[in-house]
């Protein structure tokens, strides 16, 4: 798949989108639709437990666009209306990250209501960041719909309040991430010569469950150095620390990873805290 970069088109407007002429002659958007993508983690080192209960980590976030949610937002006079499709167990409206993003902006701006229509295709509890992507894309859409003129840095700061990896989806391009995942350094990484295959087993893993078994430690070599090595060497040096305990608890995850290598993957790993596992295959594969 081609690498996704921040300069790519992220908003798609429907032909029948509603607009209104403002007093200055510009158009006010009243309807937008966009398609949040997911991410994979390449390496994940858990290096320390912080006093605030979070963990310091090192990881690489890489955007993947082979599976996307669909997010439509309409401006309404007041309140919040939410509909979510393709989800068996719905959370309360106020717990939805797109709603939380709107409430966060309401703390800073006098903005009216929204109707949110979300179709989920990216699975929950997979380590793919689907909910975080929805929240970040929603923030960007609110910024456009309400003409808030927030900068990229301001959007990232707001997104970081919604989740550890949410800020990544604002620019949606490869980064080396530290802190909780919100401190990001852009990296030059292009996997367009590789097919990224993702398998999520029929179970999910909560972040709480994943972190319960970790033992933080400093890696011998910083991940930011290892990611510069040829991809053919990643198998021997880039590791996801969550695999150490979760592969024992869930042997199926190890089987999926082993099968990727048996089928010719140059690199395979669990993404984030799981349960999805991915493999990188040369396009000629």
> Is it the case that residue 186 has pLDDT exceeding 50?
yes
Q: What is the DSSP string of 97-118?
A: HHHHHHHHHHTTS---EEEEEE
What pLDDT, on the 0 to 100 scale, is given for residue 21? 42
| Catalytic residue numbers, as ranges | 39, 165
Structural domains for the chain: 11-186 (3.30.230.10), 194-282 (3.30.70.890)
> Residue for token digits 């919604």?
162
Span 131-148, mean pLDDT?
97
What pLDDT shows up at residue 142? 97
Q: Quote the mean pLDDT of the chain.
A: 90
**CB neighbours (10 Å) of residue 94?**
10
Per-residue pLDDT for 9 more than 70? no
What would the DSSP string read from start to end of 45-114? EEEEE-TTS-EEEEEEEEEEEEEE-EEEEEEESSSEEEEEES-SSPPPGGGSHHHHHHHHHHTTS---EE
Highest mean pLDDT (candidates 32-41, 81-90, 212-221): 32-41
pLDDT higher than 80, residue 66: yes
**pLDDT for residue 22 is more than 80:** no
Work out the percent of the chain whose per-residue pLDDT is above 70. Answer: 89
Query: Which pLDDT belongs to residue 28?
Result: 57
Encode pLDDT of 39-57 as tens digits.
Answer: 999 999 999 999 888 899 9
């Amino acid at each position: 798949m081609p690498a996704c970069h921040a300069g790519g088109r992220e908003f798609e407007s429907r032909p029948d989108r509603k607009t209104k002429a403002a007093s200055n002659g510009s158009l006010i958007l009243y309807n937008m639709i966009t398609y949040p993508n997911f991410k994979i983690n390449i390496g994940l080192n858990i290096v320390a437990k912080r006093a605030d209960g979070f963990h310091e980590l090192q990881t690489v976030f890489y955007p993947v666009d082979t599976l996307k949610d669909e997010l439509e937002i309409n401006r309404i006079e007041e309140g919040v209306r939410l509909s979510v499709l393709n989800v068996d167990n719905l959370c309360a409206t106020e717990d939805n990250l797109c709603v939380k993003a709107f409430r966060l902006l309401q703390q800073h701006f006098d903005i009216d209501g929204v109707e949110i229509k979300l179709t989920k295709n990216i699975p929950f509890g997979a380590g793919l960041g689907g909910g975080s992507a929805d929240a970040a894309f929603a923030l960007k859409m609110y910024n456009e719909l309400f003409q808030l003129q927030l900068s990229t840095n301001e959007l990232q700061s707001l997104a970081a309040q919604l989740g550890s990896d949410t800020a990544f989806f604002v620019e949606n391009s490869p980064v080396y991430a530290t802190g909780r995942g919100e401190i990001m350094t852009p990296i030059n990484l292009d996997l367009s010569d590789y097919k990224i295959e993702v398998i999520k087993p029929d179970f999910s893993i909560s972040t709480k469950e994943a972190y319960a078994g970790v033992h933080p430690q400093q890696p011998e070599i910083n991940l930011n150095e290892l990611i510069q090595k040829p991809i053919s060497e990643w198998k021997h040096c880039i590791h996801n620390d969550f695999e150490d305990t979760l592969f024992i608890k869930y042997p199926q995850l190890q089987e999926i990873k082993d099968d990727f290598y048996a089928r010719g993957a140059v690199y395979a790993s669990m993404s984030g805290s799981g349960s999805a596992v991915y493999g990188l295959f040369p396009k000629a594969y």
